Amino acid sequence: MKLNKLIFISAILLSFVKMLYQFESDKSVDIIWAAIIFLVGHNIFIKTISDFKKKEFFSEFSLMSIATVGAFILGEYIEAALIPIIYNLGELSQSYAVKKAKKDIQNLKQSKLKEVERIDEDGKLLLVSPLKIEINDRIIIKSGDLIPVDGTVENGKGYVDISSITGEVIPIYVKEGDEVISGSICKDTSLVIKASKKFKDSNYGKILATIDEASFNKSKYEKFITRFAKKYVPFVALAAIITLIFPYFIVENYVFSDWFYRSLVILMISCPCAFLVSIPLSYFLGLGLMAKRRIICKGGEFIDILAKTNKVFFDKTGTLTEGKIYIVSVQGFNGFAREDVLTEAQIAESISRHPIAKAICENVMICDYENFEAKEFPGEGIIANYNDNKIIVGSKKFLIKNKIDAPDLPETEFIEVWVAKNGKFIGRILLDDKLKKDSLCIGERLKKLKIKKVALLTGDTKIKAKKICELICGDEYHAELKPLDKVSVLEKEKENMNGSLIFVGDGINDAAAIAKADVGISLGKYGADITIETADIAILDGSPEKVTETILLSKKIFSIVVQNTSIAIGIKLLIFILGVFGEAHIWQAILADVGATLIVVFNSLRLMRA
Ligand code: ADP
Ligand code: MG
């Protein structure tokens, strides 16, 4: 790369010297110009040769090569040199912008990494960054967590989801001694993993290190432009040939060099770089811009859809509410003391990252997993077995489903966690959480962005759902939903609707709904990894207001994309017409192409300052 720049700069200097000292017009002049052009355009010529080998005769590089050589043959040395110079300058500015956007995205992806619990030699738990995990360190992975380093299972058994690495959708069962690859997600239990590699050598670390535009989902618009360019190039190339030959039969004083020049101008216009580069570039810079605001968007596709959103559905716990749930009271039944109810619940909740689990387990960390097995049913509760005891915790519905005789207690305005031991109901834990500050009347603010419906989906009770719905100024609420119920509400909503629907959630119980929505958004740094991985957009700050910001940004980015496309096509069209009438120069044609790219870059950068 350095050598390239060196060659490029020295060639430009040489051409300045050349222009200052007009040599006599003899053969040496041609040779010096040929050398300059070769130096300045060597990267284009090399790419042309490799395109020809691949039988791609209509690439932007071959067109530029033909135009450069053509201009040289016509004795238009300065123009011949300007073609590669302007092209390379355009590339430079664009690669600068892309590099910057890439860096922003990369930084954000790194900061997405959550701390993990490492078990120290004396059995204590310590929160460490995945970057600090050493080989043979033991870490605790809980239900819904992403496994950050490659390793082997030392304790625990259950299913891990490897779909984000291999695409294999069926989860695999792992037990003690089995290997696990990083990037896979622990489905519904907890595991102790012994690291066999450091983060940077692990599968997941390597994936995070390579961020490449090609890995982003392309928008429909981008795909259309690529297809369009493929058809457009041969068409304009044909126009160039016609411009060269046809006038011979109708123009009186046909001068070959004159028409050859015009056809070169048209050839240069057929160079599709302006759209081929500018459209994906606009999207990519948009993604970089979002990254700056701590929003990870996984592709331009979602920007288009978000710009046309008219329904927003929110999960409640952890998304609209703080997720910092606290215990209000514990009730014991059937002869069980409150402490017993709490202790039993803590044992079961130790495998979960649910905000409820966090509240119940506060400061109690159980990591002795012998004779212990537990499984989380997202949005319902947990079933655990230890030392021949069976504990069930969860919603009242969940206990009834598991054939527990749950008494008819009046519904409260709190989050209710019911607890059963060995088939008998033993008590209830009532918890509460606060609404996030930004959630208050978020519905009204979304309506200003042409959102028609704002709704709430929750696994919680009706009383609680109604109260929160009023506070956020929502239009409707759906309560007592299991994860798949959330999906069916969305499915129904999507029938016969124009526009698109987004769902915002944070927990493992939201992953399915996030996958179903037109755009699934995960909110909050402490959201479940599985949800962040499934989401099309991951907002790392927990503020619901960021959803409004994301929609607004998408609208802006989309309108910039439309502007950029019109600019690129408009400039081309103008030069094309001028070219046919012999009013445009080759350097203007290439400048139009690169100029359009530059305008696109600056137009997109304008957003960054917004
Ligand atoms: P939301 O949809 O609002 O995020 P959840 O689906 O996470 O709420 O939870 C709904 C209900 O399911 C809770 O009120 C609780 O009764 C029960 N529940 C879900 N997960 C757990 C858990 N880990 N422990 C105990 N109860 C749970
Ligand atoms: Mg939630």
Tens digits of residue pLDDT in 105-115: 777 776 667 88
Question: Which residue carries 């309108």 as its tokens?
Answer: 559
Q: How far is the CA of 547 from the centre of ligand 2 (A)?
A: 16
Beta bridge partners of 456: 314, 477
| Residue 458 Cβ < 6 Å to ligand 1 | yes
Under the banding of pLDDT at 50, 70 and 90, the label for residue 4 is: low
Which ligand is nearest the CA of 316, by number? 1
Q: Which of 104, 315, 433, 460 is catalytic?
A: 315
| Residue 533 Cβ < 6 Å to ligand 1 | no
Q: How far is the CA of 344 from the centre of ligand 1 (A)?
A: 17
Q: How far is the CA of 395 from the centre of ligand 1 (A)?
A: 7
What pLDDT sits at residue 489?
Answer: 94
What pLDDT sits at residue 587?
Answer: 75
Examine the pLDDT at 398 and tell me if it is beyond 90.
yes
- Going by CA atoms, what residue is nearest to atom 26 of ligand 1? 394
Integer Cα distance of 18 and 400 in angstroms: 90
| Residue 352 Cβ < 6 Å to ligand 1 | yes
What pLDDT sits at residue 368?
Answer: 62
Per DSSP, the residues of 1-15 read: -HHHHHHHHHHHHHH
What pLDDT sits at residue 287?
Answer: 86
| Residue 531 Cβ < 6 Å to ligand 1 | no
315 catalytically annotated: yes
User: Span 271-277, mean pLDDT?
Assistant: 67
Q: Supply φ then ψ for residue 332, to 5 degrees.
A: -100, 145
Q: Supply φ then ψ for residue 223, to 5 degrees.
A: -65, -40
| Residue 524 Cβ < 6 Å to ligand 1 | no
Sequence-distant (≥ 6) Cβ neighbours of residue 55 within 8 angstroms? none
Integer Cα distance of 461 and 427 in angstroms: 18
Name which of 78-92, 403-417, 484-498 the model is least confident about. Answer: 78-92
User: Span 290-313, mean pLDDT?
Assistant: 90
Q: Supply φ then ψ for residue 567, to 5 degrees.
A: -60, -50
Integer Cα distance of 246 and 243 in angstroms: 6
423-470 residue pLDDT tens:
999 999 999 988 999 999 999 999 999 999 999 999 888 988 999 999
Phi-psi region of 476 (alpha: psi -120 to 50; beta: other; left: phi over 0): beta
Tokens of 11: 């060639």
Measured from the Cα of 376, ligand 1's closest atom is 23
**Tell me, what amino acid is at 470?**
E
What pLDDT sits at residue 358?
Answer: 86
Q: How far is the CA of 312 from the centre of ligand 1 (A)?
A: 21
Q: How far is the CA of 609 from the centre of ligand 1 (A)?
A: 41
User: Span 172-197, mean pLDDT?
Assistant: 90
Which ligand is nearest the CA of 511, by number? 2
| pTM of the complete model | 0.76
What pLDDT sits at residue 575?
Answer: 80
Helix (H) or strand (E) segment spanning residue 443: helix 442-447
Q: Look at 600 and 290; give whichever has higher pLDDT.
A: 290
| Residue 37 Cβ < 6 Å to ligand 1 | no
Which ligand is nearest the CA of 531, by number? 2
Write down the mean pLDDT value for the chain: 84
Percent of the chain scoring above 90 in pLDDT: 31
Q: Look at 26 and 361; give whichever has higher pLDDT.
A: 361
- Going by CA atoms, what residue is nearest to atom 22 of ligand 1? 381
Beta carbons within 10 angstroms of residue 239's beta carbon: 18
